[in-house]
Amino acid sequence: MRAGHITVDNVGFTYGAASALAQLASAESDAEVGVDIADIDLDIPPGSAVLLCGPSGSGKTSLLRLLGGLAPQLHPGTASGSVTVSGREMTTLDVHRVVEVAATVFQNPRTQFFTTEVAGELAFGLENQAMERAEILERIRAAVAVTGIAGLIDRRLDSLSGGQLQLVACTAALAQRPDVILFDEPSSNLSPASIEILSAVMRGLREAGHTLVIAEHRLAYLDGIIDRAVLLDDGRVREDLPAAQFFALSDEQRRAKGLRRLRAARPAPPSVPASAAHTDGGLVVENLRFSYGRTLVTDLDRMEFPRGTITALTGPNGVGKSTLARLICGLAKQDAGTISLDGRALRARERNRAASMVMQDVGRQLFGETVAADITMGLSASARTALDLPALLEATGLIGLEERHPQSLSGGQRQRVAIAAAAAQDSPVCLFDEPTSGLGFSHLVGIAAQMRALADRGAVVIVITHDDELIAEAANSVITLTPPLTRKG
């Protein structure tokens, strides 16, 4: 079999109890958990690029784990059929040999890092293969030149944004020079500029003869990159379409399949009306300064977030959007300046009580033993009684999951649990950090509706996002942040 050739013959996989326990222990927060697959047949020629698409929890990540030799080796369960990559049977290949044929870029890159610094992470896998120092350096230089992260080489991983971490993970995979590269939601946290870099990287990989398999919800940027699109649902392949036929689907057809936009286009100016009943008051940031060590990150003269309005915060990866959210929520204390709500300046502790935040990595904020417990955590007895939990579960697509452990859910499902918990708190300020990361079309619409409901109740709603579809669906206004965080429009 030629290098880079993938065959999937009548494959099924059922997760075992040990895999669920391993997921809870590892807090792999942005991946599908326990999504069984069945009756999968695929033949992927060397040098081709295939898209895996479908709703959250459809089995895309499970299939990638089999292709990448991660299941059942690291995700215990029962596999049937055959998965071969470059002639190797991946379901039985020793984990330390997997890198010889395939590399995976995870949806949450934090879960695949082993070091604390970018340079060390890029070298880690190569050092484990006992490569000579000169070859390691040459491979890293070549990979960095492709992804454009030379400016990050000396940085600590914990100082990078989610999008920057994603590019580091891509670079580490490139440095391995495998036959096959597997991407799990690679654009989920990337700005438009970073997606352009990712697109160029993928085109270059194809030209170099690599085989690519890409599980993705954001689809438009893949036009001209993929050869075909495989649509999964409920753990099975439902359609396998040539790229030209796939991207020719009408908006009505792609919506019926639960797919997101297929054609690149900037959204129309936000047209969702603010609630007229809540136009007075809001959050105001004035003369705000914040630094990490000697590095000035936030430098804002004035910024306003009215009540009853959904404001989208956009800007390049690493510009400081998440840092601003942490300041607003009182998770960090500013060096100078004020943050006021309804004309009253609030200290960090007061902001913490007034704000709810859905983090980019939601696994870090889910602590309950069940979905229902997580959603109602911290509510007073009277608030619990007043909460219409079934209606909230229905609105967030969580009906039937209320007794599941949050960490046993897919990444998209966990995202919705965190959003439901924020809605239950009924806080005057609600922040969302990349809330549609890894989510399909129907859940994007549902989350937009939840944001609108919060705004209509008079909350200040701020969403940090690179997702043009979410902006078009929900936002009243858009603020673009640029270094050193000056307002642009």
Mean pLDDT by 10 residues, the chain (489 residues): 92 78 44 76 97 89 94 93 96 91 88 93 93 96 91 92 85 93 89 86 89 95 96 96 97 91 66 44 94 87 94 88 93 94 95 90 86 94 93 89 87 82 91 86 86 92 93 92 59
For the chain, what are the domain ranges? 6-256, 276-488
**How far, in whole angstroms, is CA 78 from its chain's centroid?**
28
Predicted pLDDT of residue 18: 53
Question: How far is Cα 46 from Cα 117, in angstroms, rounded to an integer?
Answer: 34
pLDDT at 19: 53
Q: How many Å apart are CA 11 and CA 80, to the nearest integer?
A: 5
Q: Quick check: do 6-256 and 276-488 share a fold?
A: yes
Question: Contact 457/448 with Cβ under 8 angstroms?
Answer: no
CATH, range 6-256 = 3.40.50.300
Neighbours of 389 (CB within 10 A): 16
* Segment 285-340, tens digit of pLDDT: 999 999 988 888 899 999 999 999 999 999 888 788 989 999 999 999 999 999 99
Angle at Cα 196 formed by Cα 192 and Cα 202, nearest 5°?
Answer: 135
Write the single-letter amino acid at 209: G
Closest CA to 158 of 381, 364, 422: 364
Residues 412-447: pLDDT tens digits? Answer: 688 789 889 988 988 999 999 988 887 888 888 888
CATH 3.40.109.10, applies to 276-488: no
Q: Which two tokens stand for residue 279?
A: 């136009």
Query: Does the model's pTM come out above 0.95?
Result: no
Q: How far, in Å, are 68, 126, 127, 141, 142 from residue 130 at the CA level?
A: 22, 7, 5, 18, 19
pLDDT at 443: 82
What backbone phi and psi angles, to 5 degrees, belong to 138?
-65, -40
